[in-house]
Structure 1
Amino acid sequence: MAIVAAIDDSERAVAVLEQANELADRYDVSLHIVHVADPAVDFREEFTDVSENALRASRVADEIMERAQDTAADIASESAEYVDGLEEYEAVGLVGDAAEVIRNYASEQDAEYIVVSGRKRRPLGQALFGSVTQALLLNADCPVVAVPQDDL
């Protein structure tokens, strides 16, 4: 079992990690810090450096995915450095649709909780861009702890 802390690379990550660390200590389970990369957005330069024909080759695609996962795991590790007392954790880099990938990962790990932080958006922004937090709250197989924006 684990606590899954789903973070982005903003300052909101610290509050999420503090809450997740507290839960991991309370339940005596491991803490998994997860950052999800979207290669089409986060690694756009990787795609433009490769010709269209080469991009179709699975070897190149696998290499790009591996780099994206490594970079995402680095972001997770770097975020943990800003939290006092956070010593034991697993930094996990994933790639894909954030809500779906986090939900699947949490299910695979038999997570006790998923800890996230939402962004304050206007209703139109939520409708156009969706919300990872909202999708997790509605679809996760375990409880989701949403750290309030005011705490950040």
Structure 2
Amino acid sequence: MYHVVIGVDDDAEHALACVEEVGKMPGDASEKQVTLVHSFTDNPSGASATQIRSIREAGEYLDEHGIEYDVNEASGDPADVIIELAEEEDADLIVIGGRKRSPAGKALFGSVTQTVILNAGRPVMVTGVPNRA
């Protein structure tokens, strides 16, 4: 069985790209377990992760494909949250959505994807956003 932790931000296209790649992994749906994780850096309204569109759409995809999943929410630095959860759950793989950024943008704002790749002690898959027609 594969246990995959997927870091989900507010971008529904990134979330769908991540779950679609998990769906393509070898093996039946029954051999895959997914934890969707969303980290709130600012949550004045007190929303829960299941209220986030990207989490809902990722969950719908997983439901439609018979892949078991759960949702985890936390507060704090998203990269740290993803890495810590993957370690706690002894995940086989971390999946995150990448995005294009200029070198200056990376230097100024950092990159969750880059931090996870460099600091996770397990395999990391980075997905792009496919061109959807």
TM-score when scaled to structure 2? Answer: 0.80
Distance 1:108 1:33, change over 3 A: same
2-structure distance, mates of 1:19, 1:72: 21
1:121 maps to which residue? 101
CA contact 2:8–2:55 (8 Å) conserved in 1: no
The aligned residue for residue 79 of structure 1 is: 57
Structure 2 segments unaligned to the other structure (5+ residues) = none
Structure 1 residue 86: Cα displacement:
4.8
Give, as a single letter, the amino acid of the residue that structure 1 aligns with 2:37. V
1:89-100 to 2 correspondences below 5 Å: 89-100=69-80
- Structure 1 regions of 5+ residues with no counterpart? 47-66
Please state how far the C-alpha of 1:26 moved relative to its aligned partner: 5.7
Richer in helix (by share): 1
Give the structure with the higher percent strand: 2
Please provide the CA RMSD for this pair. 2.5
Q: Distance in 1 between matches of 2:51 and 2:111?
A: 24
When residues 111 and 87 of structure 1 are mapped into structure 2, their CA distance, relative to the original with a 3 A threshold, is closer
Q: TM-score, normalised to structure 1's length? A: 0.71
1:94-120, CA deviations, whole angstroms, 9 ceiling, x for partnerless residues? 111000111000000001000001110
